[in-house]
Amino acid sequence: LDTAVNTPSADTERPERRSRRKQARPGELLAAALDLFVEKGFAATRAEEVAQRAGVSKGTLFLYFPTKEDLFKAVVRENIAGKVNEGFDELYKFTGPTAELLPFMMHLWWERFGSTKASGITKLMMSEATNFPELTEFYYNEVIEPNHRLIQGMIQRGIDSGEFREVDMHYAIYAISAPLIHLVTWKHSMGCCVGYKQQIDPERYITVQAEMVVQGLLRRTTV
Amino acid sequence: LDTAVNTPSADTERPERRSRRKQARPGELLAAALDLFVEKGFAATRAEEVAQRAGVSKGTLFLYFPTKEDLFKAVVRENIAGKVNEGFDELYKFTGPTAELLPFMMHLWWERFGSTKASGITKLMMSEATNFPELTEFYYNEVIEPNHRLIQGMIQRGIDSGEFREVDMHYAIYAISAPLIHLVTWKHSMGCCVGYKQQIDPERYITVQAEMVVQGLLRRTTV
Amino acid sequence: LDTAVNTPSADTERPERRSRRKQARPGELLAAALDLFVEKGFAATRAEEVAQRAGVSKGTLFLYFPTKEDLFKAVVRENIAGKVNEGFDELYKFTGPTAELLPFMMHLWWERFGSTKASGITKLMMSEATNFPELTEFYYNEVIEPNHRLIQGMIQRGIDSGEFREVDMHYAIYAISAPLIHLVTWKHSMGCCVGYKQQIDPERYITVQAEMVVQGLLRRTTV
Amino acid sequence: LDTAVNTPSADTERPERRSRRKQARPGELLAAALDLFVEKGFAATRAEEVAQRAGVSKGTLFLYFPTKEDLFKAVVRENIAGKVNEGFDELYKFTGPTAELLPFMMHLWWERFGSTKASGITKLMMSEATNFPELTEFYYNEVIEPNHRLIQGMIQRGIDSGEFREVDMHYAIYAISAPLIHLVTWKHSMGCCVGYKQQIDPERYITVQAEMVVQGLLRRTTV
DNA sequence: AATGAATGAGTATTCATTCAT
DNA sequence: AATGAATGAATACTCATTCAT
């Protein structure tokens, strides 16, 4: 459902106890690894702990993922599948004004991604990017770039409809993405350590940022 | 200020070489540590390497910083002290409209902090926050909170002068901070791994974000 | 009894070699540790050396004993358990006069403990007592106190039978224990370094001490 | 008085402030070292701490004692000077019955040595004997052997006077020495770690042991 | 496929000892 | 003679990875 862990190989055999379980192994390991990597970071996560949480032995873990780095890569690759497409669907489906589209999409993003465990990999990638350059490139191509196109689509929609003014599109995108990324990054770093008073309320945060960016983009009616 | 980071500076002078060095040691070590921590992260940085880069032996490092964690803390403390005050100074000194103050301050921040090596600790803290809760709290109190107050001061100035509309101040702050933090975080993560085409031009980035946020805050003249 | 120290025993049998070894591991490690601790003391014994002598790698040692201190504790526990009970058995079994019981028991003690490698831990505990207060307390409760009760039982037997005079029991005990402890302590310290001429012949030593203490305890027939 | 720390070189210069102090250095270091070695053992005592306690720098310590081992040897050698001679003096001076001499001498020993800090080296030597073989030999010749001769003199006196029976002299000696050595050894090991209830009262302990040994040596009047 | 016992390279930290001043 | 900054060998302990069963 949320972060549906799919076994790489298609599930062809009937739902028979033994083999289902067998097939489920890598998925369980990836789920456990996601949890722990998000929770403690790459370096601080011990392989044994991952195996334990997945209910298998250490040996089994290395049976599926020959290296801790491979495990990490798999975790990231696994958890970034096609979220963007959902976004494009919503964009195309939306009929109201773009000034309403933006808040709607941003809140939706929170609901479907930001608030889920999967958002932890956003922070993970920030932290480990330089240690996994080719993974980072993959992440850029598969996640960042598509999302930028989605955001660009949203903004362009406003410009095309005459709602928004012309902007330096390449950089205007960040007015939407930066606050969102900052939100989940905060949530998985500072947010864990500061007191109740310093917490950010995501809904309110997004509401304000969305309002700001809409105001920032809107064509000045008179002037 | 106190433990000002001194560059090793070629040893051309003969007299009191030993004692000169002694004074410089902590600074040299902190500089080396900053480099390496930023470059490879906390866990991946070996104590010996820090010592080597500072031109001393492993033992000497532990003479000044009894623990790798202590070294990390010192690096963080060293590279953030007083930065905010500079910001307040500029704020109080500024005489033009707030719509110009914001871009000015954001660019200044880049010039004096974002573009320097020290900005690497912003990303470092994000990455290591959960591993050093006590340090994170320190960082929040000494860096984040003061910066928030500075930003709040800037926005309030605009509201007081009638330029800006009333906003949910606590969250409006992030409209300014999030893009900036995102910029340095990017610079020290993704930025290192993606191609030339995907690079962000900081000046242009800040210009656009500043314009967006100013537009977002400005009181609508007619309506 | 529980973790009986098994000698490595030449591996002639082929089947289940791995699992056989697994069972023997802790015992082999404890035996090696006993050897080395007795030989060189706690501080001077390197963990790796213990592993080597047991024929395993460093890692394996820490697999079974998470800490060098834990290893030390295990060695102490291993080599003292139940020794006292043997003494009580002999005491209850003995039917002759107490004047003969004492020499018998003292010689038996030498035969079963003093002359064995295990007596080295008596000296070890003396040397390391202040460094391991918690272990020292354990040793007092599990070894010293029970032995004192055993000796007290022996003396009391003589008093009850009318052979021995009334004595300050609490301190009379040491008339028996002190010479014995001194013997093994000597054996593992001075004894290793002084020439042949200065050596103590344990049997003769015990014979004389036993005679002395018996004479010291006997009720004066006429007076 | 008790452990008078004498500078090796005879004090020829007048008691002038500066040089007195200079001359006192090694003595202060030895005193500090004695304290610490007794308190924590050889391995656990850090050179720096010795220097600190003596009020000098680490460098100075190594100026006088090129090696920690040398320091240890010096501490032992320093603190075992001619105590035995005092014992012989008392023996020759004593006029009463040997049955009274023994308790007298044993209590005196406690008063002048056992109860002082210097008794710590007795335990030290036990602990470190095997690590310092040639020191051990020295200790045997300078301390143990003379003390044995002293004790032998005491026993012989009783035999010669007809009070004591003939004994295996070489081993009878231990009937006196073992309890005393055991007392100081206990005091500096177990004694530090066990509760109030398990403490040994030295006076009472010696009284009982002395009585025992006297009884053990006395010629049976009738029989 | 699964286990978990075994490995050993790797790393922070300590501390006796040196030596420029 | 005295200092104390600097050294680096030494060592307990960790943890990814292997492999016999």
- B5/B31 Cα distance (integer angstroms): 6
Q: Choose among C216, C198, C219, C197: nearest CA to C208.
A: C216
Q: What pLDDT sits at residue D23? A: 63
Give yes or no for residue B97 having a pLDDT over 70.
yes
Number of Cβ within 10 Å of residue B163's Cβ equals 17
- The number of C-beta contacts closer than 8 angstroms across C and D is 173
Residues 12-51 of C with CB under 8 A from D: 39-41, 43-44
Nearest to C192 among D44, D129, D171 (CB): D129
Which residue gives the smallest C-alpha to C1' distance to E18?
Answer: D59
Nearest CB among A43, A140, A171 relative to B194 is that of A140
Q: Say whether the CB atom of B60 is under 7 angstroms from strand F.
A: yes
Long-range contacts of B218-223 (CB under 8 A, 24+ apart): B218/A215, B218/B99, B218/B163, B218/B164, B218/B165, B219/B162, B219/B163, B219/B164, B219/B165, B220/A220, B220/A221, B220/B165, B221/A220, B221/A222, B221/A223, B222/A221, B222/A222, B223/A221
Angle ∠(B198,B201,B203) on CA atoms, nearest 5? 165
Nucleotides on strand F lying under 7 Å from protein C-beta: 1-21
Is the pLDDT at D10 greater than 90? The verdict is: no
Q: Which residue of B has its CA nearest to A123?
A: B127
D59 touches strand E (CB under 7 A): yes
D169 to chain C: nearest residue by CA? Answer: C208
Percent pLDDT > 70 in chain B is: 89
Q: Tell which residue, C5, C131, C145, C148, has the closest CA to residue C74.
A: C5
- Asked if pLDDT for residue C4 goes beyond 50, the answer is no
Residues 66-95 of D with CB under 7 A from strand E: 66-69
Distance CA C75 to C1' F20 in A: 30
Is D40 close to C130, i.e. CB distance below 8 A? Answer: yes
Non-local (6+) Cβ contacts of C186 within 8 A are C200
Residue in A37, A69, A125, A130 to test binding to B, most B beta-carbons within 10 Å: A130
Nucleotide closest in space to B55 (CA vs C1'): F6
Least CA distance to C148: which residue of chain D?
D198
Contacts with D220 from chain C: Cβ below 8 Å: 220-221
Best mutation site among B127, B134, B155 for testing chain A: the one with the most A CBs within 10 Å? B127
Show which of residues 83-122 on chain C sit within 8 Å of chain D, judged by CB atoms.
Answer: none
Confidence category of residue A220, pLDDT binned at 50, 70, 90: confident
Asked if residue D157 has pLDDT above 60, the reply is: yes
The pLDDT, as a whole number, for residue B20 is 54
pLDDT at B2: 36
Whole-angstrom Cα distance, residue D168 to residue D142? 23
Q: Choose, out of D212, D213, D217, D219, the residue to mutate when testing the contact with C (most C CBs < 10 Å).
A: D212
A141: nearest CA in chain B?
B194
Average pLDDT over residues B168-190: 97
CA–C1' distance C7–E3 (Å)?
A: 27
Q: E10 C1' – B72 CA distance, angstroms? A: 21
User: pLDDT at residue C15 above 90?
Assistant: no
Q: Please name the member of A123, A172, A212 whose beta carbon is closest to the beta carbon of B208.
A: A172
Q: Whole-number mean pLDDT of chain C?
A: 90
Q: Provide the pLDDT confidence category of residue B11 given band limits of 50, 70 and 90.
A: very low
Q: Which residue is nearest to nucleotide F11 (CA to C1')?
A: C46
Cross-chain residue pair D212–C216, CB shorter than 8 Å: yes
Mean pLDDT of chain D: 89
pLDDT in tens, B30-83: 999 999 999 999 999 999 999 999 999 999 999 999 999 999 999 999 998 788
Closest residue to E5 by CA to C1' distance?
C22
Q: Is the pLDDT score of B4 beyond 50? A: no
Write out chain B residues lying below 8 Å of A133, CB-based. Answer: 192-193
Interface probe for D, chosen from C46, C127, C128 (most Cβ of D below 10 Å), is C127
CB contact under 8 A, A130 and B40: yes
On the question of pLDDT at D18 being above 50, the answer is: no
Cβ atoms of B176 and A213 closer than 8 Å? no
Nearest nt to the C71 alpha carbon by C1': F12
Contacts of A218 in chain B (CB under 8 A): 215
C59 CB contact with strand F at below 7 Å: yes
Rg (CA), chain B: 20
* Poorest-pLDDT segment among A40-49, A143-152, C155-164, D21-30: D21-30
Return mean pLDDT, chain A: 89
CB contact under 8 A, C221 and D217: no
**Residue D108 pLDDT more than 70?**
yes
Neighbours of D162 (CB within 10 A): 9
**pLDDT of residue D13 exceeding 60:** no
pTM, full prediction: 0.87
Nearest by CB to D179, from C133, C145, C174: name it: C174
Distance D136 CA to F9 C1' (A): 28
Q: What is the pLDDT of residues A155-212, one digit of tens each?
A: 999 999 999 999 999 999 999 999 999 999 999 999 999 989 889 999 999 999 999 9
Distance in Å from E2's C1' to C215's CA comes to 70
- Estimate in Å the CA B17 to C1' E18 gap, whole number: 18
Q: Tell me: the pLDDT tens digits for C29-49?
A: 999 999 999 999 999 999 999
A197 touches chain B (CB under 8 A): no
DSSP chain C: --S-----------TTHHHHHHHHHHHHHHHHHHHHHHHH-TTT--HHHHHHHHTS-HHHHHHH-SSHHHHHHHHHHHTTTTHHHHHHHHHHH--S-HHHHHHHHHHHHIIIIITSGGGHHHHHHHHHGGG-HHHHHHHIIIIIHHHHHHHHHHHHHHHHTTSBPP--HHHHHHHHHHHHHHHHHHHTTHHHHS-GGG---HHHHHHHHHHHHHHHHBPPS--
CB contact under 8 A, D129 and C189: yes
Cross-chain residue pair C127–D130, CB shorter than 8 Å: no
Of all residues in chain C, what percent carry a pLDDT higher than 70? 89
Task: List the single protein residue with the shortest CA to C1' distance from F6.
Answer: B60
